[in-house]
Structure 1
Amino acid sequence: MHKVLNNNVVIQVDESGRERVLMGRGIGFQLKPADAVDPAKVEKTFILDEGEAGERELRMLDDIPYPVIESVTRATDAAERSLGRALGRGFALAVLDHLQFVLERLEKGVRIPATSMPELRVLYAAEYAAATGMTASIAASLDIELPPEESVFLTMHLLNATRDEPNGTAALLFRRVQHVVTTVENGLGLRLDVNSPDYARFVLHVQFLLQRLVSRTMLTSGDTSFFEFAKHSYPASFEIANEVKAYVKAATGSALTDEEVLYLIVHIERLKTQLRSGHTGEPVLVSSAVNSLQ
């Protein structure tokens, strides 16, 4: 048996009593309870949640115009192909809920503030690319202009759907990377060039540093000569690295080794050189230390 929610959404009850949502353009038009659903019109299907959550999902599907549902469905399918994995029903519903909120605000001339979060492009390149594709696809499908920051919001939704980690782990790591980047920028008194290779290398280094800290595999060495050389030769970068060390200690309870601090100094010097010269040339310390420590 089935019931028509609207012209584009039909609720079918299976033999076990579960409600299955069938979506498709015109699937419910003039459909009577005794009529068979045309399978050719079914574009998407999923099982409803039970109880209050299921009722909320039904209200959302009834309230949101079908072109919006259709655009999100197509964009989600494309993202799944891009990432090579299923994103699940919850992802599409979360995007629908978010997008409808955005569209309602845009109609009123209200734009949701968001930072560009350039670290996302480095740390989660595949998810960011898929989110950017979704934003462009939805905008083209609805013939509207979506703010660029929608790619940031959709990337965060994708991370929630794809990270096989304890809930919030990816977000926590991301926030810590952001804090380290901000600490370095404040220490240098400049904003980093987020499109430079040195920036990408630095952000990835910070990510791996924090992951090594969690897994207790931090870099160590019995030779302190490079650390002492960097400490005395580049006092400004050493001071910034020490500020990062203090933040990491306060945030995680673990202290960075001298070897990890040395690598931070190397990257900070590289960033400083790039900012001063306008290119990615490396100071002598960078080439010497990196070659020796690999």
Structure 2
Amino acid sequence: EQFKELLANMPLERVRISDEIISHAKDHLKLKLNQSIYVTLTDHINFAIERVSQGIEPQNALLWEIKRFYPQEFQLGIYALELIHDRLGILLPEDEAGFIALHFVNAEYGTDIRDAVKFPDQMQAIVDIVERDLGILLDESSLHYERFMTHIKFLIQRIYRKELLFSEDRELSLLMQRKYPREYQCSVKVAEYIMQATGSRLSEEEIMYLSVHIRRVSTIDL
């Protein structure tokens, strides 16, 4: 019904462009998207075009973080800008690629766009905690960094979808504390930040898995 209302007051070519972008994401990038993307992306593209036609170019304060933490979605945003330029002759600023990327993040995670805009800052904050607490700089080109960031993305997704793991296995937790005390304490600090930022408490199981990923990403020879 929302999509019908949207179609009634929108140029058909803009709807087609949105549909083509979504098809590209599904067919070529194999993204699994919530159906809400048809409404949210089409509405955003229409709004962005109207905005630029009025000489308004919004600044995306999260652009750097989006490029860094959501490169695939950002490239989708660039693809969208190129398609809009090719079809309509309208050149949208790079900041819009970041906004479009967040709509895809939102559709992938099944969250609210108001939550999705928080993800890049929260991911950066977690990286900062790990680097500061362990006194290291993470190697962003390493496979372990990629796996660590994937784990953080899914952790944040579970937080906002309220699908956190709730096992309180004290035996395994104590084993992790003894074997990797620095990494475990670091994961506790990340859990404290998450509690402060989202109001969600991480279980012993979540903290334990986080410790494993922190251990791997902070150890060169693993």
Q: TM > 0.5 between the two?
A: yes
1:1-294 equivalences in 2 (<5 Å): 46-48=7-9, 70=13, 72-84=14-26, 87-88=37-38, 91-102=41-52, 104-105=55-56, 113-116=61-64, 117=66, 118-121=68-71, 125=72, 127-141=73-87, 147-159=93-105, 164-165=110-111, 168-171=114-117, 176-188=122-134, 192-210=138-156, 214-221=162-169, 222-223=171-172, 224-231=174-181, 235=182, 237-250=183-196, 251-257=198-204, 259-274=205-220, 281-282=221-222
Matching residue of 1:39 = none
CA deviation map 1:183-232 (0-9, x unaligned):
2244355664545432221122123334556335235433432331111x
CA deviation map 1:93-127 (0-9, x unaligned):
32132244356256xxx965543222223xxx5x5
Distance 1:141 1:114, change over 3 A: farther
The one-letter code of the counterpart of 1:120 is: Y
The one-letter code of the counterpart of 1:80 is: I
The one-letter code of the counterpart of 2:176 is: F
The one-letter code of the counterpart of 1:98 is: A
Per-residue deviation at 1:253?
4.5
In structure 2, distance between residues paired with 1:148 and 1:194: 23
Contact persistence 1:183–1:244 (CA under 8 A): yes
In structure 1, distance between residues paired with 2:36 and 2:194: 35
Contact persistence 1:184–1:240 (CA under 8 A): yes
Structure showing greater relative contact order (alpha-carbon pairs closer than 8 Å, 6 or more residues apart): 2
In structure 1, distance between residues paired with 2:137 and 2:96: 23
Percent identity of equivalent pairs: 22
In structure 2, distance between residues paired with 1:194 and 1:150: 25
Contact persistence 1:135–1:151 (CA under 8 A): yes
The one-letter code of the counterpart of 2:38 is: G
Per-residue deviation at 1:244?
0.6
Alignment partner of 1:201: what SS?
helix
In structure 2, distance between residues paired with 1:145 and 1:167: 24
The one-letter code of the counterpart of 2:101 is: T
Q: Which has the higher helix share?
A: 2
TM-score (norm 2): 0.65
| Unmatched 5+ stretches in structure 1 | 1-19, 22-44, 49-56, 62-68, 275-280, 283-294
TM-score (norm 1): 0.52
Distance 1:76 1:268, change over 3 A: same
Displaced runs of 4 or more, over 6 A: none
| Alpha-carbon RMSD | 4.0
Per-residue deviation at 1:154?
0.7
Alignment partner of 1:215: what SS?
coil
In structure 1, distance between residues paired with 2:167 and 2:210: 12
Contact persistence 1:46–1:89 (CA under 8 A): no
Contact persistence 1:212–1:218 (CA under 8 A): no
Per-residue deviation at 1:247?
1.2
Contact persistence 1:95–1:157 (CA under 8 A): no
Q: How many residues align?
A: 203
In structure 2, distance between residues paired with 1:205 and 1:161: 18
Contact persistence 2:123–2:153 (CA under 8 A): yes
Matching residue of 1:29 = none
